[in-house]
Each structure stands twice: as C-alpha cells, then as structure tokens.
C-alpha cells in the first residue's frame, strides 16, 4: 500500500509531523540528514522550512524541494497522537 498524507506540520529541530490517512498513523520525520545535500540546504532556514505543504502525494517547499510519502513513512517515527503548535494550523492539503 502506498501511504497517503492527510496533514503535515513543521516542528522544531527540522522535524515534520506527518499524519497519514492510509495507513492511519502519525509520524515524526527528522529532516536533518538532508540539510547538507544539494537543493535541501535551503531548508536550514527555519522560516523557510515552516513553509512545507502537501502536493502530489508528498510534501514540498516553495522552491520545489520535495519528499515523497513513501520516504516520509519509511523514515518516520510513529507517534501515539498528533500535537498542535500554538502559532497556527497545520497544512492539510485541503483548501
């Protein structure tokens, strides 16, 4: 089964909280291993990192850096329940 992302939220320390619809799980993905590689270097800017959004089944930042749902699911650490940040709402991929 190909995982389906329902929601993504940027967290502190270059982590993403990703809620998957299929399978129904929430995972925390540490993006720091990518930060010194090519186009991903721009993600070191925390303000820019927080601009993550869902697109075409994966996640993407404004200058087209992207990670697939499969990569996020495989590298994520399972969470019991999603958390919320107080400064705003997570991106749901819905308008």
pLDDT of residue 74: 97
3-state SS, residue 10: strand
pLDDT 10s digits, 4-50: 999 999 999 999 999 999 889 999 999 999 999 999 999 999 999 99
Using 50, 70 and 90 to split pLDDT, how confident is the model at 81? low
pLDDT of residue 89: 60
For residue 87, pLDDT over 90 is answered with no
CATH 3.30.2020.10 fits 4-77, yes or no: yes
Spatial CA neighbour of 91 closest among 44, 37, 52? 52
pLDDT of residue 1: 79
pLDDT of residue 95: 47
Average pLDDT over every residue of 61-69: 97
């Amino acid at each position: 089964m190909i995982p389906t992302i329902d929601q993504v939220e940027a967290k502190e320390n270059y982590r993403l909280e990703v809620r998957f619809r299929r399978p129904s799980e929430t995972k925390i993905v540490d993006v720091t291993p990518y930060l010194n590689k090519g186009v991903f270097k721009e993600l070191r800017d925390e303000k820019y990192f927080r601009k993550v959004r869902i697109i075409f089944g994966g996640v993407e930042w404004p200058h087209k850096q992207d990670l697939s749902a499969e990569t996020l699911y495989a590298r994520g650490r399972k969470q019991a329940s999603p958390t919320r940040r107080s400064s705003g709402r997570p991106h749901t991929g819905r308008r």
